[in-house]
Structure 1
Amino acid sequence: MLHNAAQTYQSNQVTTANPGELTLMLYNGAIKFIKQAKGAIGEKDIVKAHESCLKVQNILYELISTLNKSYPISREMEKMYDYMLQRMIEANMRKDSSILSEVEDYFVQFRDTWKEAMQLAKKQG
């Protein structure tokens, strides 16, 4: 019962969010799944680590696919996301927590910057 309520709430969040909020949700999701992957590696749960890494990779594919490439910053973000994707693949193959920490740091920086940009945009109307 609780699981269904949580799924409904999460589904409503996604369907009512604007593009900026969705990007923030993707960043937060990636951070969550990286933490899960690191925990699974520590517990020697290779299957869970793999699944969590794949979720982060899928988030990166989504972030890449939604970039508006008519802006120069988007082309730079695409390069960064590509790099992070390659590092995630490497981390998944090696089950390397240090690589996961590197990618997590990028996601934290992006999330914090994105959150700040959203707040500034809101203030400016």
Structure 2
Amino acid sequence: MSITDPYQAYRQNQVQTLSQEKLVLMLYDGALRFCRQGLAAMEKKDYAGANGSLCRAQDILSELMVNLNRDVGEIADNLYKLYDFMYRHLVQANVKKSAVMVQEVMDLLQQLRDTWEEATRIYHSHDYRTRVGMNRQG
């Protein structure tokens, strides 16, 4: 299947060449954006629009769950449980048309996003190879 739209080809290439850290950040940003759109649609009583946006946020949470490396231990298991909770909470928010429930998920997503961004920044600001080498010599 070839991509004839140059913009679509550019976007696909951009996503495929992102680091894992940036891709996760992009997924968090997308989930937050769709939650905001869902809230805005709820306020306008556009329940079809709210449903569409919240389902897209749910899809992103599913993607995060499926691609989580559960072999790394307890942290991954807890993160999976948190993603699962947010997914189920959004389903209920969508059914009940509850802006409060959507906001609760957004608060959690924002905390995860900010933590992930900070952890990535810290990771990239240190040269761990040098530190390991120093520990061996010293």
Structure 2 length normalisation: TM-score? 0.83
Give unpaired runs (5+ residues) of structure 2.
128-138
Per-residue CA shift, 1:14-72, capped at 9, x if unaligned? 12201111100000000000000000000111111000010011001100011111122
Aligned match of 1:110 in 109, 112, 121? 112
Aligned to 1:119: 121
Percent sequence identity is 37
- Aligned residues between the structures: 122
Aligned to 1:59: 60
- Runs of 4+ in structure 1 deviating by more than 2 angstroms, as ranges, are 4-13
Aligned to 2:69: 68
Residue 35 of structure 2 corresponds to residue 34 of structure 1: yes
- Alpha-carbon RMSD: 1.4
* Structure 2 counterparts to residues 94-105 of structure 1, below 5 A: 94-105=96-107
Aligned to 1:18: 19
| Distance in structure 2 (CA, Å) of the matches to 1:110 and 1:55 | 18
| Distance in structure 2 (CA, Å) of the matches to 1:116 and 1:94 | 34
C-alpha deviation, 1:5, in angstroms: 7.2
Aligned to 1:44: 45
Aligned to 2:84: 82
For the residue of structure 2 that corresponds to 1:70, the secondary structure is: helix
Give unpaired runs (5+ residues) of structure 1.
none
| Distance in structure 2 (CA, Å) of the matches to 1:39 and 1:5 | 32
| Distance in structure 1 (CA, Å) of the matches to 2:113 and 2:7 | 23
